[in-house]
Structure 1
Amino acid sequence: MHQERQPKVACFGEILWDLFPGKDKQAGGAPFNVGYHLHQMGIDVHAISAVGKDALGDELLQRLSGWKLSDAGIQRSDTHATSTVVATIDEDNEAHYEIKEGVAWDYIELLSADQELLKNADAFVFGSLATRNEVSRNTLFQLVENARYCVFDVNLRPPFVDKNVLLALLEKADLVKFNLAELNLVLSFLGKEYANELDGMSFLQDHFRLSEIILSRGASGATYFTKENNFTLPATKIKVNDTVGSGDSFLAGFLSGSLLGLNAKEALEQGICLSGFVTTQSGACPDYTKADIEAMKEKYRNQS
């Protein structure tokens, strides 16, 4: 398909170093990971975050530059350090994070350049973690008002879960990505008993006037849900290396496909295949090309 203009997406929130036991530190943060994968899949990405004026901040900006990702939206803080997160991996290959507070991305300021950029961006991606501090939270709620298409990756990180903020962000969203635990929690906040996935998504769609919901179901694949249409696709059959950032790559695969003209089923397939590929690699942001993901799709279509 001939693309007249490269789609542009702004990603808001945490940018940080993940510190894994016995490994080199890895650049991370969910919105940042989504941005990396969107960029790899052919989208023009604008990351809105903050790092400290310190060596770790310099290194993060160098990493962005190495990946040919713009750092125009990354603020530098004199008073708050670049974020580090101590990560541990359990016996099921799942990551758990100790996320220090009072870091640079807790204090993302509202800049008119970001507001202007959002008016022309095709999508605005954000999560819930960056709302834990009032400064970044206020900035996000003001930026959302300028966005044409809001993508909320719920991505809960206890203890940083605020019912009122969560529900307010759902009011603003066009596309929401949940996992099953997050879907259950939001339903419980609204006093709705969980009957099944489709009933829950239908309830939330009506309640928040959401145009699209994606439910990531791990090894059981993923479900796409709109008023008119819903379907589930299976996961890829792969050998898991690690699951760090798999949800972020899944969202980026879906969103990039959708913005570049794939239909919903093709976009969901792309999300599943990109996530599957990333889980066979080490870390949230491995090196790859679109051809690698096309090869993964070919395998996926042939799996029994």
Structure 2
Amino acid sequence: MNTEANRKTEWVVGIGEALWDILPEGRKIGGAPANFAYHMSQFGLHSCAVSAVGDDEAGRELRNQLREKRVGHMLETVPFPTGTVEVTLDGAGIPSYEIRQGVAWDNIPFTPQIEELARHTRAACFGSLAQRSPVSHRTIGRFLETMPDGEGQYKVFDINLRQHFYTQQVVEESLRKCNILKINDEELAVVGSMFGMEGMQPGEQCRTLLDRYGLRIVILTCGAAGSSVFAPDTRSYIPTPRVEVADTVGAGDSFTASFLAALLSGLGIGEAHRLAVDVAAHVCSQHGAMPRLPERFTARLRNDGSAIR
């Protein structure tokens, strides 16, 4: 990416894992932060996926795929293999993951180029998975610390608990660094147990997290049971639309990206929530995490992201 352009542009960044999802129908590019950056780019925003790949065919092809999809990227080359995830789907299209360890995205370096990008980033999305390793944990932390602070800055913790690749320390640190939390109902039960919120209703747990960590927004997704958005003076609930599900891989990432794109473009929480629900439902009806969005979704943001250009 052009460093001079970085100085003149406010970026939206997904930082963490970029990898290959090995699905029943074949290999598809994935990783929550990369999915997030891809969907942000579809709304006309200057987005960038920050991760690492190996000096291998899989890494070169991952770069090529992001380039073809017109997603900005800083994928550092490191002496570890490019990440892969074996994805299996149940009868309802719900995925389970077998995530390879000791891979490139476990070793994302905090380079001068990534530091410069952070200084010109208005919104970033990160999760818990890439923080399973000390190297990437430090890089994500330094990126968030380097970002400018302010009313229009967003640091989104899309928690994405996977297998055993998280600790209470990482979750709590991340809650203190973010100002928006996105979590699903299964993850909320785990976090509730971590922080002494057993016995509370999900809405009460979300309100507790909102207050305890000074968050602006908590987003709770509950699959077919709908989703809720909590802010200090607001709650929005929207049922999940019925669609014929191909698979749900990447649907949560498309929800996060659509919601944040709407906020950045000046829409309110209710409108942002509606767009996010509709986009995620569409992604569930498609195979893989990065389908092309129809114009009926992207056209809802009439300024094509000009709010942050």
Q: TM-score, normalised by structure 2?
A: 0.89
Match 2:276 to one of 266, 271, 278: 271
Residues in 1 aligned to 2:223 and 2:9: alpha-carbon distance in whole angstroms: 30
The 1:281–1:7 alpha-carbon spacing in structure 2 relative to 1, beyond 3 Å, is farther
| RMSD (Å) for aligned C-alpha atoms | 1.6
The equivalent of 1:207 in structure 2 is 212
Residues 41-80 of structure 1: pairs in structure 2 closer than 5 A: 41-71=43-73, 73-77=74-78, 79-80=79-80
Corresponding position of 1:106:
106
Q: Is this contact kept in 2: 1:152–1:176, CA < 8 A? A: yes
Letter in 2 for 1:14: E
Q: Which residue of 1 aligns with 2:81?
A: 81
Seq. identity, %? 36
Amino acid at match of 1:125: C
Distance in 1 (CA, whole Å) between partners of 2:157 and 2:295 is 25
Partner of 2:163: 158
Look up the equivalent residue of 1:128 and give its one-letter code: S
- CA contact 1:88–1:97 (8 Å) conserved in 2: yes
Give the unaligned 5+ runs of structure 1.
296-304
Q: How many Å separate the matches in 1 of 2:247 and 2:100? A: 23
Matched, 1:11 2:37: no
Q: Does the 8 Å CA contact 2:42/2:298 hold for their aligned counterparts? A: no
Query: Which ranges of structure 2 fall in alignment gaps of 5 or more residues?
Result: 1-7, 301-309
Paired residue for 1:285, among 276, 287, 290?
Answer: 290
Q: How many residues align?
A: 288
SS at match of 2:21: strand
- Structure 1 residue 292: deviation in Å? 4.9
Map Cα deviations across residues 12-50 of structure 1 (whole Å, 9 max, x no partner). 0101111123x2200000111111111111211121100
Write out per-residue CA displacement over residues 206-258 of structure 1, whole angstroms, 9 at most, x where no aligned residue.
21111111011111221110111112011122221211111111111101111
Q: Cα deviation per residue 1:169-216 (whole Å; 9 max; x = unaligned)?
A: 001110010001111211211112232122111111121111111011
| Superposed CA offset, 1:247-296 (max 9, x none) | 1111111011111111110001110011011111111111234335569x
Match of residue 260, structure 2, among 255, 258, 280: 255
SS at match of 1:27: strand
Between the aligned partners of 2:117 and 2:287, the Cα distance in structure 1 is: 33
Which ranges of 4 or more aligned residues in structure 1 deviate by more than 4 Å? 292-295
Moved more, 199-208 or 5-14: 5-14
Larger relative contact order (CA 8 Å, sep ≥ 6): 2
Q: TM-score under structure 1 normalisation? A: 0.91
* Deviation (angstroms), 1:120: 2.4
What is the deviation of 1:141? 1.1
1:115 to 1:38, Cα distance in 2 relative to 1, 3 A: same
Equivalence for 2:4 = none
* Letter in structure 1 aligned against 2:96: H
